[in-house]
């Protein structure tokens, strides 16, 4: 699996992502600079990592969505290439039109860093095949703007088409406002695009891949991607 991790000024979780990809997928990603206009030849997976691209100025992700490299990412996605967009990456993907909706301030208006539980809604996507549908995983969140919002029609479509792949839940998989730390509509933590090749999610699976962090539930996502490409080959 040949992956490319994008770096915009202010992105700060590219090292975490590169480490997770290296550890689980066995191959270090190429780091791609925002001002580049091309992705490395043969890229299988594009990752837009977390951070505060352009200082979150204007709106989270708004400036990065217009950086030169994003044209290449859009073209890559149009051709069916896989894009994993985490945290600020999710915000950038929404601003770039790769995914619908928007991430607003957390409901309690504070940045939150803590472990949350996610119910994996589907296991038949390239991103979630390392998990079972209905499985609950524990991963950290670290964001101030993770409150997913879209208009009623969009939400209905997302739900109708089974495009919500991760939902905030209790450790037992029960979706409940008490376990929805940022107030996201329908407790949405991660969605895919229509074609199923772009995943945006707020939590950080890349921070739960080693035992030292107290949990390795994030490995499944990277292991699943690796498996996807192995089967395709």
Partner 1 sequence: MVSNEPAVTPELVAEHGLTPDEYERIRKLIGREPTFTELGIFSAMWNEHCSYKSSKVHLRTLPTKASWVIQGPGENAGVIDIGDGLAVVFKMESHNHPSYIEPYQGAATGVGGILRDVFTMGARPIACLNALSFGAPDNPKTRHLVAGVVAGIGGYGNSFGVPTVGGEVRFHRRYDGNCLVNAMAVGIAEAGKIFYSAASGVGMPIVYLGSKTGRDGIHGASMASAEFGADAEEKRPTVQVGDPFSEKLLLEACLEIMEKGCVIAIQDMGAAGLTCSAVEMGAKGDLGVTLDLDSVPCRETGMSAYEMMLSESQERMLMVLRPEKEKEAEAIFRKWGLDFAIVGETTPTKRFIVRLGGAVMADLPIKELGDQAPVYDRPAAQAPKHPIFDAATLEAPIGIAEALEKLIGSPDLCSKRWVWQQYDHVILGNTVQRPGGDAAVVRINDGPKALALTADVTPRYCEADPFEGGKQAVAEAWRNLTATGARPLALTDNLNFGNPERPEIMGQLVGCIRGIGEACRVLDFPVVSGNVSLYNETNGRAILPTPTIGGVGLLDDFTKSITLGFKSEGEAILLVGETTGWLGQSLYLREVYGREEGAPPPVDLAAEKRHGDFVRGLIRDGLVTAVHDISDGGLLIALAEMAMASGIGAVLENPTNALAHGFWFGEDQARYVLTAGLSDRKRVLARAQEAGLPLRMIGTTGGHVLALANERPLAVTRLRDRFEAWLPDYMRGSER
* Residues with a known catalytic role: 87, 204, 206
Decide: is 68 part of the binding site for partner 1 (CB under 8 A). Answer: no
| CA 208 – CA 140 distance, rounded (Å) | 7
Q: Which 208-227 residues touch partner 1, going by CB under 8 A?
A: 209-210, 212-214
Nearer to partner 1, 104 or 193 (CB): 104
The interface mask with partner 1, positions 98-127, x = CB under 8 A, is: ------------xxxxx-------------
Output 19 or 157, the one with its CB closest to partner 1.
Answer: 19
Tokens of 92: 């950038």
Identified binder of partner 1 from the candidate list 3, 5, 13, 86, rule CB under 8 A: 13
**What would you measure as the largest C-alpha separation in the chain, in angstroms?**
46
| Residue 90 binds partner 1 (CB under 8 A) | no
Q: Which of 29, 51, 130, 146 binds partner 1 (CB under 8 A)?
A: 51
Q: Which stretch binds partner 1 (CB under 8 A): 38-46, 90-98, 168-176, 203-211?
A: 203-211
CA–CA gap between residue 166 and residue 198 (Å, rounded):
13
* Contact between residue 147 and residue 112 where contact means Cβ atoms under 8 Å apart: no
Which residues in 130-162 are b (16+ Cβ under 10 Å) and which e?
bbeeebbbbbbbbbbbbbbebeeeebeebeeee
Give yes or no for residue 34 binding partner 1 (CB under 8 A): no
In angstroms, give the least distance from the CB of 26 to partner 1: 15
Number of helices (H), then strands (E), belonging to the chain: the values are 5, 11
């Amino acid at each position: 699996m040949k992956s490319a991790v994008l770096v915009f000024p202010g992105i700060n979780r590219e090292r975490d992502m590169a480490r997770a990809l290296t550890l689980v997928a066995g191959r270090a990603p190429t780091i791609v600079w925002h001002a580049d206009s091309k992705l490395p030849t043969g890229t299988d997976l594009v990752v837009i990592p977390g951070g505060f691209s352009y200082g979150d100025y204007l709106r989270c992700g708004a400036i990065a969505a217009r950086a030169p490299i994003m044209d290449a990412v859009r073209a890559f996605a149009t051709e069916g290439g896989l894009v994993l967009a985490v945290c600020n990456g999710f915000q950038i993907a929404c601003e770039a039109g790769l995914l619908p909706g928007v991430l607003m301030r957390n409901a309690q208006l504070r940045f939150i860093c803590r472990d949350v539980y996610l119910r994996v809604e589907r296991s038949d996507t390239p991103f979630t095949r390392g998990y079972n549908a209905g499985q609950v995983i524990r991963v950290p969140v670290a964001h101030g703007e993770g409150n997913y919002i879209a208009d009623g029609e969009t939400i209905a479509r997302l739900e109708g088409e089974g495009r919500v792949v991760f939902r905030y839940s209790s450790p037992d998989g029960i979706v409940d406002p008490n376990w929805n730390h940022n107030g996201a509509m329908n407790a949405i933590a991660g969605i895919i695009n229509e074609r199923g090749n772009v995943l945006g999610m707020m939590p950080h699976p890349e921070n739960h891949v080693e035992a030292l962090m107290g949990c390795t539930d994030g490995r499944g996502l990277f292991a699943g991607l690796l498996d996807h490409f192995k089967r395709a080959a």
